[in-house]
Structures are given as structure tokens and as C-alpha cells.
């Protein structure tokens, strides 16, 4: 098959290969660990938002087929748990443990609950913009997606007072990375899952930083039938990941993302596992628990962008 146009974004199966660059994390850390909290509640697919269908994924609801034109009150209320209870429970735990996570914030969700944005800012978190809506951006026009990027950045600044430095759509289009780079002011995006270190790509002649996200060390496993059901199981899995990367980090320091959702990780039966994990990583001298923007700045200062 012959392609008439460049296959963009181009795929890269080689990356750093056998010789990844020396990250040289601060204080000689062997692992840079970033904890991400996704704040999406209210921005998901919803009849009330004019989408024509209700959300069907990423909740404790086992099976939820999207039925055109019909509200799914079970799904709606499961998402509401994240904004009514979950975000506050997580913020309280992080405050008590002295850990500052990164928040991936969806613009519309923030607009619907600005008090959460104020609390995120008070915690000292950085914010990665997570789209205007928690929807699939592939069907949207380029112009509509461009508008959504601008709306999200403006809303985050207005409500939280934070200048966001990163972007993560989660369900991006083929235009997303280029539009983020063109918007300006955003140092990096996270819309890839293909490495344990940041890397730089060329986007329209611009050098653009990618800080890969993780579906692996991710509490979405609670909703995917992956066999992770309890906080203890989640702790064991992400703890094993930390132990391996610390071992590997004696030669090649890496990064690790642990991703949480307010409606999933913050259930009472899962919080003790998260607390155990925070206790473990904050007590370890070879782990740099960092915000995502700090990790990105370190990488850019060391390798340029």
C-alpha cells in the first residue's frame, strides 16, 4: 500500500534503545515518581451536556452500554462521587502525608466545581490540562479542538490562578499534539504511553517534550476486570513496579507515573493501599516524588527542548 501523505504522527519503534540518557534526577535519585490525580467528574459524556449518550467507561459499574438518548443515572451518580467525596478525601490524604501530586484537570469539570480547583491550588499541585471535556476528540473538527484547548487553559488560570504547563487529552485526535504545540505556553504533553523516560519530538519544526503517561500503574484497572479489586492488590502491583525501577535505576534511573481517579481510588476500601504506598515512597531516599512540571523542567534543563 502506498500512502499519498505522511503518516502523522509518525511511529517510533526504537526510542532510546539500549542506552537511555542519564536522567540525573535531583539529589541522585534513582527514580522520579509522579502521582497524578485525574479530575474529570461532570465533563464525561452526558445527555445534560448535549452529547446524546451517557458515559460508558471508567467507573465501578461493570457493564454500561451507551443507549442513545437515555440518561444513565447509575453512571452519573458514580461520577458524582468523585467530585462530592473522592477529591476531598484524596486531597486530605496528600496533605497529611506531605505529598504534592499533579492534577490532570478537565476544563468543564473544573467549571462545575471551582471549589475543587481552589483546593488543588492550595495543595501546591501543578495542573496538566486534560481537555475541555472528558470525551473522544478524534471526531471533533480541528477548529473545535483548538477552541477547546484555549478554553481549558483559560479556565484553569481563571479559577485556580495556576499557569498550566502540560497537556493530556487521554482520548486525543491525530491533531492534538500539533494544536497543543501551536497554542504555546505548554512545555509538554502526556498523550503517549511508550517509554519510562521523557523524550523530545519534532512538531511542525518545533522541539516538543513528551512526558509519557501510564495506563499500567493506574487505578482504572479497578474498572477493567484486570484482577485488581482492592487497595492492597493495587499497592502490591505499584510497589513491585517501584522496586524493579529502583533496581534498574542503579544503572539507568527512570520515571514512573501512578495515576488515580477521584471516583475510583478514593473509595474507602482502596485508600489504605494508597496510604501504604505513599508511606513507602516518601520514606525511600532514592525516590524523587515530584510534580510533573518539575520533572519536565528538569528534563528540559538537562537535555534542552
d(CA 255, CA 260): 17
User: Quick one: pLDDT at residue 162?
Assistant: 98
* Cα-based distances in Å from 239 to 1, 99, 212, 257: 45, 17, 19, 12
- 38 - beta bridge partners? 104, 261
pLDDT at 64 over 90: no
Backbone φ and ψ for 29, nearest 5 degrees, come out as: -60, 145
Closest CA to 136 of 43, 210, 211: 43
In terms of Cα–Cα distance, which of 188, 189, 186, 190 is closest to 157?
Answer: 186
Q: Are strands 254-261 and 102-105 parallel, antiparallel or unpaired?
A: unpaired
The pLDDT value recorded for residue 287 is 98
Long-range contacts of 176-179 (CB under 8 A, 24+ apart): 176/137, 176/145, 177/9, 177/201, 177/203, 177/208, 178/203, 178/204, 179/142, 179/145, 179/146, 179/149
pLDDT attached to residue 230: 94
Class of domain 26-303: alpha beta
Write down the pLDDT at residue 216. 96
The pLDDT value given to residue 63:
63
Quote the cell numbers at residue 124.
Answer: 501546591
Give the pLDDT score at 223: 87
Phi/psi for 288 (5° steps) reads -95, 100
Q: What is the tens place of the pLDDT at every residue in 201-221?
A: 999 999 999 999 999 999 999
Instruction: Give the pLDDT confidence of 31-55 residue by residue, as tens digits.
Output: 999 999 999 999 999 999 999 999 9
Tell me the mean pLDDT in the region 277-285. 98
pLDDT of residue 164: 98
Check residue 295 and give left, alpha or beta (phi > 0: left; psi -120 to 50: alpha).
alpha
Look at residue 288 in the predicted model and tell me its pLDDT. Answer: 98
Mean pLDDT of 81-99: 98
What is the C-alpha to C-alpha distance for residues 176 and 158, in angstroms, rounded to an integer? Answer: 23
Domain boundaries, given as residue ranges, for the chain: 26-303
| Residues 101-131: b if buried by 16+ CB within 10 A, e if exposed | bbbbbbbbbbbebeebbebbbebebbbbbbb
Mean pLDDT of the chain: 95
Residue with grid cell 495515576, as numbered in its chain: 259
Q: What's the pLDDT score for residue 3?
A: 61
Give the pLDDT confidence score for residue 177 in this predicted structure. 98
Question: What is the predicted pLDDT for the residue at 301?
Answer: 97
175 band by pLDDT with thresholds 50, 70 and 90: very high
Q: What is the pLDDT of residues 290-302, one digit of tens each?
A: 999 999 999 999 9
Do 128 and 166 form a contact (C-beta atoms < 8 A)? yes
Angle between helices 268-283 and 231-248 (to 10 degrees): 20
pLDDT band per the 50, 70, 90 thresholds, residue 260: very high
% of residues, the chain, pLDDT over 70: 98
Q: Is 119 helix (H, G, I), strand (E, B) or coil?
A: helix
Banded pLDDT at 65 (limits 50, 70, 90) = confident
**Band of residue 247 on the pLDDT scale cut at 50, 70, 90:** very high
Would you call 62 helix, strand, or coil by DSSP? coil
CB contact at 8 A, 269 and 13: no
pLDDT at residue 53 in the model: 95
- Which range, of 52-61, 93-102, 114-123, 275-284, averages the lowest pLDDT? 52-61
Q: What is the pLDDT of residues 112-165, one digit of tens each?
A: 999 999 999 999 999 999 999 999 999 999 999 999 999 999 999 999 999 999
DSSP per-residue string spanning 209-265: EE----SSSBGGGGGTTSS--SHHHHHHHHHHHHHHHHHHTTTS-EEEEEEEETTTT
**8 confidence band (pLDDT: 50, 70, 90):** confident
The whole-number pLDDT of residue 1 equals 52
Amino acid at each position: 500500500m502506498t500512502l499519498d501523505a505522511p503518516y502523522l504522527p509518525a511511529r517510533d519503534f526504537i526510542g532510546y534503545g539500549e542506552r537511555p540518557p542519564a536522567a540525573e534526577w535531583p539529589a541522585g535519585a534513582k527514580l522520579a515518581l509522579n502521582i497524578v490525580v485525574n479530575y474529570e467528574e461532570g465533563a464525561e459524556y452526558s445527555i445534560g451536556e448535549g452529547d446524546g449518550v451517557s458515559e460508558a467507561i471508567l467507573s465501578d459499574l461493570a457493564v454500561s452500554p451507551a443507549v442513545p438518548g437515555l440518561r444513565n443515572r447509575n453512571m452519573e451518580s458514580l461520577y458524582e462521587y468523585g467530585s462530592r467525596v473522592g477529591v476531598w478525601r484524596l486531597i486530605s490524604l496528600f496533605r497529611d502525608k506531605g505529598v504534592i501530586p499533579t492534577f490532570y484537570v478537565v476544563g468543564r469539570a473544573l467549571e462545575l466545581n471551582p471549589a475543587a480547583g481552589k483546593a488543588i491550588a492550595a495543595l501546591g499541585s501543578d495542573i496538566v490540562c486534560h481537555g475541555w471535556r472528558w470525551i473522544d476528540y478524534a471526531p471533533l473538527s480541528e477548529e473545535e479542538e483548538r477552541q477547546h484547548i484555549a478554553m481549558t487553559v483559560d479556565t484553569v488560570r481563571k479559577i485556580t490562578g495556576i499557569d498550566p504547563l502540560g497537556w493530556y487529552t487521554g482520548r486525543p485526535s491525530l491533531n492534538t499534539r500539533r494544536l497543543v504545540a501551536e497554542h504555546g505556553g505548554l512545555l509538554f504533553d502526556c498523550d503517549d504511553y511508550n517509554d519510562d523516560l521523557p523524550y523530545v519530538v519534532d512538531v511542525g519544526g518545533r522541539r516538543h517534550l513528551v512526558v509519557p503517561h501510564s495506563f499500567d500503574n493506574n487505578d482504572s484497572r479497578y474498572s477493567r476486570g484486570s484482577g485488581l479489586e482492592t487497595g492492597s492488590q493495587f499497592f502490591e502491583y505499584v510497589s513491585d513496579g517501584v522496586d524493579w525501577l529502583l533496581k534498574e535505576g542503579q544503572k539507568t534511573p527512570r520515571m514512573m507515573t501512578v495515576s488515580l481517579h477521584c471516583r475510583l481510588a478514593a473509595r474507602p476500601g482502596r485508600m489504605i493501599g494508597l496510604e501504604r504506598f505513599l508511606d513507602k515512597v516518601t520514606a525511600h531516599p532514592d525516590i524523587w516524588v515530584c510534580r510533573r512540571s518539575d520533572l519536565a523542567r528538569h528534563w528540559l534543563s538537562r537535555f534542552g527542548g
